[in-house]
A and B are shown apart, each in its own frame.
Chain A
Amino acid sequence: MCGIAGLIYKDKSVNIGTQLQGMLQALKHRGEDSTGYALYGDTDGENFIMRFKVGENVGEGSSSVSEETSVYDERIKIVKSHILGMGAKIIKEERILPYSLRYEVSYDEKDLREFSRKIESVPGVEILSMGKSLEVIKDLGNAKDVCDRYNLDKIVGTHAIGHARMATESGVDIKSAHPFWGYPFSDVSVVHNGQLTNYWNNRRLLENEGMRFMSECDSELIAVYLAKKLRDGATLKEGMKASLTGLDGVFTYFVATKDSLGMAKDTMAAKPLVLYESDNLIAMGSEEIAIRAILPQEIDTYDPYDGEVKVWQI
């Protein structure tokens, strides 16, 4: 059991870090092995924001092996040299935690595939997100733990999706935590509640077509599946609709891009979702109490039906 939450404001920016934290914290009973945020903040849109990790959080029940901090330092040096070697320029760098970093990068190329491949060729390094608005922050612990650790309450933006995870199919570590970046597409992220039963078959097919998997978490398949559809020229909604038959199992997932938020529910409607929709705000979560965290007044909500796909634009 996991919990997912998402919100999008169509006409204004708010403190989305704080709002999503409230929603996810309300769902912490659905799992607090790890919590992840995909926040679409207000930026000037000039540079890429790259969130990446050079190691794992080895505390808090982690299934990862401990490493020396000096190993992280060495990896960071190599990452920097790779960035510069590809003609990109680091505008701003922050080391949030020993293993977690945020870089603002000036990079003119539109295709992030080669860039990402080069960075991730360094053992232990994974790009959590890359985009001009998107920032994926995920770590072990509940929503408040992660929010406090990464100072997410300061992030202002229009929309966000998040995930409170109870690990069932793969390890308790950052690489298996949601959200997943829709590599190599800028500003695409996915969170999922459910279980996919044709993960390995799909993974083999997609890897043969050059797609990249970083974990053994079945949910990552959705991000890769949608990325493949986008690569083939489908719109986001077309890709999501195809996923209803392409993915087997039970699922409710959210996907977000730079200017949109979408949801899809499997044809069995086996996983919960409660949705609130008004002219300027859409808020949704695995349980109504997530929505109540930001809208305590009496509101009208509903459960989307089986096989339903919805996308909202800013």
Chain B
Amino acid sequence: MANLKTTDKKSKSQSMGMHSEVLTGRTQQKFFNPSEAESFYYFGTYDVDFNKRTDLDVKEMTAAEVNKEIDNLMSQGYGTIVIKNPQGKHSLGVGILNKLNLIFEGSLGYFGMGSCDGPTVRINGRVGWSCAENLMAGKVVIEKNAGSCFGAAIRGGDLICKGSVGARTGIDMKGGTIIVGGDAGAFTGFMMQRGRIIILGDVGINLGDSMYDGTIFIGGKIGSFGSDAIPADLTDSDQDWLKRKLKVAEIGEKFDVSKMTKIVAGKKLWNYDNLEPHEKKGAI
């Protein structure tokens, strides 16, 4: 890795892996330049004011209309949007690549808040299957229960459910943190590759089945361990991190984290490289 203290800005950003590979796609091809403020935002995102707030009643709207209207409101600078009467509709709030305070007064159906990068979301109800799938960054808080595949394939951000969640929570997750205040179903952390899962309650069978990497912390009973998931020592730094994370998540602040079980991958199943490509280059 280059000496970061002596390199110029462009080389420094490259050395930090911000565009160490030629990537394809709409946004990834934009070149990072710290001197250009707009480069910090995705193409098509907006500069919003969190103090500018509006309500949106979606009772008679389709999911596509709702998502389009959220985008329209962001383009007008609204930084806080309250969605009323979501009534379990599917695919609400998907694809938001913006800083935004989004509040749902009610429950969401399947695939709510999917493929988001940046928003802070509070859902005052429950969510169906695959909530916040592919979350890149931001924070999503669910006040009640969540369905299966909660936080599937997330890469970053905090996903918090204050109630219980279904099966396959954090399946294929590649980063970020999932925190559950209640119980979780079978196959929690199934094939997870990175990131952390915290379950304060019980979990079902096959916990961490075929996990490549990452860490799972369980506060309650474990139905059974999945293939290649093994218990590990809970360190002091783990406990410090758990306390901080739970405090930020506004759940389980008084939970005795010292009694949690830590689960990691035994790494017997796969010849898996847990480094991202740019980290691998740095290591070489």
Q: Does B167 contact A (CB under 8 A)?
A: yes
B contact residues around A303 at 8 Å (CB): 145-148, 166-167, 185
B contact residues around A299 at 8 Å (CB): 107
Q: Does A85 contact B (CB under 8 A)?
A: no
- Comparing B48-56, B73-81, B86-94, the segment that makes contact with chain A is B86-94
Q: Does A291 contact B (CB under 8 A)?
A: yes
Q: Please, which residue of chain B has its CB at the minimum distance from the CB of A300?
A: B144
How many angstroms from the CA of A299 to the CA of B89 in the assembled complex?
14
Contact of B89 among A268, A289, A291, A302 (CB under 8 A): A289
Residue contact B166 to A269, C-beta cutoff 8 Å = yes
B161 to chain A, nearest CB (A): 12
How many angstroms from the CA of A306 to the CA of B169 in the assembled complex?
13
8 A Cβ contacts from B65-122 to A: 87-90, 106-107, 109-110
Residue contact A301 to B145, C-beta cutoff 8 Å = yes
8 A Cβ contacts from B192-240 to A: 204-205
Q: Which of B109, B163, B164, B185 has the most CB of A within 10 A?
A: B185
Q: Does A298 contact B (CB under 8 A)?
A: yes
Contact of B167 among A269, A288, A296 (CB under 8 A): A269
Residue contact A287 to B109, C-beta cutoff 8 Å = yes
Q: Does B155 contact A (CB under 8 A)?
A: no
Q: Does B129 contact A (CB under 8 A)?
A: yes
A contact residues around B164 at 8 Å (CB): 302
Residue contact B87 to A306, C-beta cutoff 8 Å = no
How many angstroms from the CA of A269 to the CA of B186 in the assembled complex?
7
Q: Does B139 contact A (CB under 8 A)?
A: no
Residue contact B148 to A269, C-beta cutoff 8 Å = yes
B contact residues around A298 at 8 Å (CB): 106-107, 125
How many angstroms from the CA of A292 to the CA of B87 in the assembled complex?
7
Q: Contacts A302-B164, A303-B145: A291 and B88 contacting too (C-beta < 8 A)?
A: yes
B contact residues around A291 at 8 Å (CB): 88
B contact residues around A269 at 8 Å (CB): 148, 166-168, 185-187, 204
Q: Does B156 contact A (CB under 8 A)?
A: no
B contact residues around A306 at 8 Å (CB): 167, 185-186, 204-205
Q: Does A305 contact B (CB under 8 A)?
A: yes
B contact residues around A289 at 8 Å (CB): 87-90, 109
Q: Contacts A303-B147, A306-B204: A296 and B129 contacting too (C-beta < 8 A)?
A: no
B194 to chain A, nearest CB (A): 24
How many angstroms from the CA of A292 to the CA of B129 in the assembled complex?
16
A49 to chain B, nearest CB (A): 34
Contact of A272 among B126, B129, B186 (CB under 8 A): B129
A1 to chain B, nearest CB (A): 12
A291 to chain B, nearest CB (A): 7
Residue contact B167 to A305, C-beta cutoff 8 Å = yes
Q: For the complex, count residues of A whose C-beta is within 8 A of B.
A: 20
Q: Does B128 contact A (CB under 8 A)?
A: yes
Q: Which of B106, B110, B166 has the most CB of A within 10 A?
A: B166
Q: Does A267 contact B (CB under 8 A)?
A: yes
Q: Please, which residue of chain B has its CB at the minimum distance from the CB of A308?
A: B185
How many angstroms from the CA of A274 to the CA of B110 in the assembled complex?
11
B94 to chain A, nearest CB (A): 16
Q: Please, which residue of chain B has its CB at the minimum distance from the CB of A303?
A: B166
How many angstroms from the CA of A56 to the CA of B183 in the assembled complex?
47
Question: Beta-carbon contacts of A278-293 to B below 8 Å, as 1s and 0s?
Answer: 0000000001110110
How many angstroms from the CA of A267 to the CA of B186 in the assembled complex?
8
How many angstroms from the CA of A172 to the CA of B205 in the assembled complex?
37
Residue contact B107 to A301, C-beta cutoff 8 Å = yes
Residue contact A287 to B185, C-beta cutoff 8 Å = no
How many angstroms from the CA of A154 to the CA of B173 in the assembled complex?
49
B contact residues around A268 at 8 Å (CB): 167, 186-187
B165 to chain A, nearest CB (A): 8
Question: Beta-carbon contacts of A300-314 to B below 8 Å, as 1s and 0s?
Answer: 111101100000000
Contact of B88 among A267, A272, A287, A305 (CB under 8 A): A287
How many angstroms from the CA of A267 to the CA of B126 in the assembled complex?
23
Residue contact B87 to A302, C-beta cutoff 8 Å = no
Contact of A288 among B107, B166, B168 (CB under 8 A): B107
8 A Cβ contacts from A201-231 to B: none
Question: Beta-carbon contacts of A110-135 to B below 8 Å, as 1s and 0s?
Answer: 00000000000000000000000000
Interface contacts beyond A267-B205, A272-B147, A296-B87: sample of 11 additional A-B pairs, CB < 8 Å, sorted by A? A269-B148, A269-B166, A269-B185, A269-B186, A287-B88, A287-B110, A300-B145, A303-B146, A303-B185, A306-B167, A306-B204
A-B contact pairs, 23 of them (CB 8 A): A267-B186, A267-B205, A269-B148, A269-B168, A269-B204, A272-B128, A272-B129, A272-B147, A274-B147, A288-B109, A288-B126, A289-B90, A299-B107, A301-B126, A302-B164, A303-B145, A303-B146, A303-B147, A303-B166, A303-B185, A305-B167, A305-B183, A306-B204
